């Protein structure tokens, strides 16, 4: 999941995780790759340990690392231990460095560890930092489905297009790219020209929801959402996102 700040991408990511968990689609890993760590709040997880925290903790205790164990291996072990297990999903949180340090090492570590950990899950939902940082640093070298979230504005769609263009320029392997227009409170036709020039397929629209806004303001998780309309939209979007993959699997079976 990506998009400019304020589009509600974290809420959409949380709603997708909630949908997968509720329908028991398979094992689910949610990754909060945004330094602001908002996905954890949206999923109702309050005390998740972070990858950055693990890295900083080990860096302070380099002299205590057991012989025969490399720093990277120890970090990987600790990161696996830091996975938060919740009913229906597991959560991995990147976190924010306490000092002014660079994210390069953490980004490289995240890419390597995620590549190994994700093999154990049927679904992995990654909430990226707003904007293009993770794309430009190629935190993910392969993306099955890049989902760009825009709010109900021309600026949001243009930002989604720029992120999509950058991902292609960086030669990131993308299985499919889709656009979700969030907080829609008018005719989507007003954005038809912008969407048409974006090169993105629209996976669906999510209407403005007063309940979601209130939950976001009070840091309430999406699991208690009573708005059946929003839940139905998310379910429909998920099914559309998976249609091409299911069709591909069917073709392989026929062959």
Please state the domain extents for the chain. 9-254
Of residues 220 and 58, the one with the higher pLDDT is 220
Q: Which of 10-19, 66-75, 214-223, 243-252 has the lowest mean pLDDT?
A: 243-252
Specify the pLDDT at position 249.
46
What's the mean pLDDT in 97-110? Answer: 58
Least confident interval from 37-46, 107-116, 221-230: 107-116
Q: Is the per-residue pLDDT at 254 higher than 70?
A: no
> What pLDDT score was predicted for residue 248?
47
CB atoms near residue 161 (< 10 Å): 19
Query: Is the predicted pLDDT of residue 140 greater than 80, yes or no?
Result: no
Q: How far is CA 28 from the centre of its chain?
A: 12
Predicted confidence band of residue 13 (pLDDT cuts 50, 70, 90): very high
Mean pLDDT across the stretch 78-87? 85
Which pTM value belongs to this model? 0.84
Of 28-37, 132-141, 185-194, 198-207, give the lowest mean pLDDT range: 132-141
Q: Of 140, 145, 128, nearest to 203 (Cα)?
A: 145
Instruction: Evaluate whether the domain defined by 9-254 bears CATH number 3.40.50.720.
Output: no
CB neighbour burial string for 49-73, b if at least 16 within 10 angstroms, e if fewer: bbbbbbbbebeeeeeeeeeeeeeee
Q: How confident is the model at residue 251 (pLDDT cuts 50, 70, 90)?
A: very low
In this predicted structure, the answer to whether residue 235 has a pLDDT above a threshold of 70 is: yes
- Is a pLDDT exceeding 70 seen at residue 104? no
Question: How high is the pLDDT of residue 139?
Answer: 58
Q: Please provide the average confidence, as pLDDT, over all residues in the chain.
A: 83
Q: What is the mean pLDDT of residues 172-195?
A: 93
More confident residue, 123 or 80: 123
Residue-level pLDDT at 99: 54
Which DSSP category does 50 fall into?
B
* pLDDT in the model for residue 250: 43
pLDDT band for 151, please (50, 70, 90 cuts). Answer: very high
Provide the percentage of residues in the chain whose pLDDT is more than 70. 83
- Mean pLDDT of the region 81-107: 75
Q: How would you classify residue 33: left for phi > 0, otherwise alpha for psi between -120 and 50, otherwise beta?
A: alpha
SS3 90: strand
Average pLDDT over residues 44-68: 75
Q: What angle do CA 86, 123, 244 make, to 5 degrees?
A: 150
Longest dimension (CA), the chain: 64
- pLDDT over threshold 50, residue 242: yes
């Amino acid at each position: 999941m990506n998009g400019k700040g304020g589009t509600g991408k974290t809420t959409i990511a949380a709603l997708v995780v909630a949908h997968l968990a509720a329908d028991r689609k398979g094992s689910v890993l949610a990754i909060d790759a945004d330094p602001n760590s908002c996905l954890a709040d949206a999923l109702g997880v309050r005390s998740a340990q972070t990858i950055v925290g693990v890295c900083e903790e080990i860096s302070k205790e380099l002299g205590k690392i057991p012989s025969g164990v490399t720093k990277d291996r120890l970090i990987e072990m600790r990161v696996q231990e830091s996975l938060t297990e919740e009913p229906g999903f597991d959560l991995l949180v990147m976190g924010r460095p306490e000092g002014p340090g660079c994210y390069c090492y953490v980004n490289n570590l995240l890419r390597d560890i995620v590549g190994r950990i994700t093999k154990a899950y049927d679904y992995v939902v990654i909430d990226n930092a707003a904007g293009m940082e993770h794309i430009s640093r190629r935190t993910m070298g392969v993306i099955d489905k890049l989902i760009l979230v825009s709010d109900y504005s021309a600026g949001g769609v243009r930002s989604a297009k720029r992120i999509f263009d950058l991902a292609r320029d960086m030669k990131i392997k993308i299985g499919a790219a889709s656009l979700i227009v969030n907080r829609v409170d008018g005719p989507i036709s007003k954005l038809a020209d912008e969407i048409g020039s974006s090169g993105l397929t629209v996976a669906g629209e999510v209407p403005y929801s007063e309940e979601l806004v209130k939950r976001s303001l009070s840091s309430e998780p999406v699991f208690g959402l009573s708005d059946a309309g929003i839940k139905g939209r998310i379910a429909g979007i998920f099914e559309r996102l998976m249609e091409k993959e299911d069709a591909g699997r069917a073709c392989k079976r026929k062959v």
